Chains A and B, each alone.
Chain A
Amino acid sequence: MGFQVSKSNEVMVIDVEGQLIVGNRQELKQKVLDELEKGERKFVVNFSETGYIDSSGLGVLVSLSKKISEQDGELRLASLNEDLRTLFELTKLDTLFTIVDTREEALEGL
């Protein structure tokens, strides 16, 4: 459970294990902001091991997207299962994010 941060070439990959919800969203936010502060600009959040996301989790992704964009960086979301994609579609956040099928696809071209 938690967030695993790794680097693949010039891209920071954050694997979300378990839930991304109100109780742990600040932990994800801080991990990404720390990397942004260090100069990292390319980020992939990978959801292949994620159970569910609540509105607070969605909100923190929106917040991080803005902060990364402000630094001329890029954020991609990868490996959303059908349920998680449903949440993005319901809230129309699928129009705000770059969402790709796999972690490998997310890394391509970043």
Chain B
Amino acid sequence: MDQELVLELPNDIRSIEHAVEYVTRHCSSCGDHARRLNLNFRVGLTEALSNAMLYGNGSDPKKRVRVEVTVGVEEVSVRVTDQGVGFDPETVPDPTLPGNISKTGGRGIFLMKALMDEVQFNERGNAVTLVLRFEGKASV
């Protein structure tokens, strides 16, 4: 049976670490998959939350970020929604191209895609759904 959790976070990057720990602890049935949770899930969710707060919500302290978590037998799914106007994730350049490696930013979406099994943006571009399968095929 799936477990569900919904959080409404303030648009404050200092809340991210605690939120990630809270959501990870909620995933009690994932105990046999510690490595994928400790690295893939934590980093993937951190990226989604920081993108939502910094870029989606434009660091506006009046806005909020909604986090919806579903823990199933075979996977954990998290939908992160901001209150911004959205963006086109396809316009973000590949940070591993030779000319981009030494740039200080632009790795967030790349890491999400590399670490999670599915990364799906909604049409407006203000919500992202991350899926991590416990026997996943992400590159890590």
Contacts and interface: CB of A to CB of B under 8 A. Distances in A.
A54 B47 CA distance: 7
A19 B50 contact: no
Interface string B43-63: 100110010001000000000
Contacts of B42: 51-52
B108 interface: yes
In the complex, which range does the number of interface residues on chain B fall in? 20 to 34
| Interface majority SS (helix, strand, loop, mixed), chain B | helix
B91 interface: no
A95 interface: yes
Contacts of A62: 102-104
A93 interface: yes
A55 interface: yes
Given A22-B54, A90-B139, A91-B107, A52 B47 contact: no
Interface of B: 13-17, 35, 38-39, 42-43, 46-47, 50, 54, 95-96, 101-108, 110-111, 114-115, 139-140
Given A23-B16, A90-B111, 15 more contacts: A21-B17, A22-B46, A24-B17, A54-B111, A55-B105, A55-B107, A56-B108, A59-B107, A60-B104, A62-B103, A86-B140, A90-B110, A91-B107, A92-B96, A96-B101
27 contacts: A21-B46, A21-B50, A22-B46, A22-B54, A23-B14, A23-B15, A24-B17, A51-B38, A54-B46, A54-B108, A55-B47, A55-B106, A59-B104, A62-B102, A62-B103, A62-B104, A83-B35, A83-B39, A86-B140, A87-B39, A87-B43, A90-B114, A91-B107, A91-B110, A91-B111, A92-B96, A92-B101
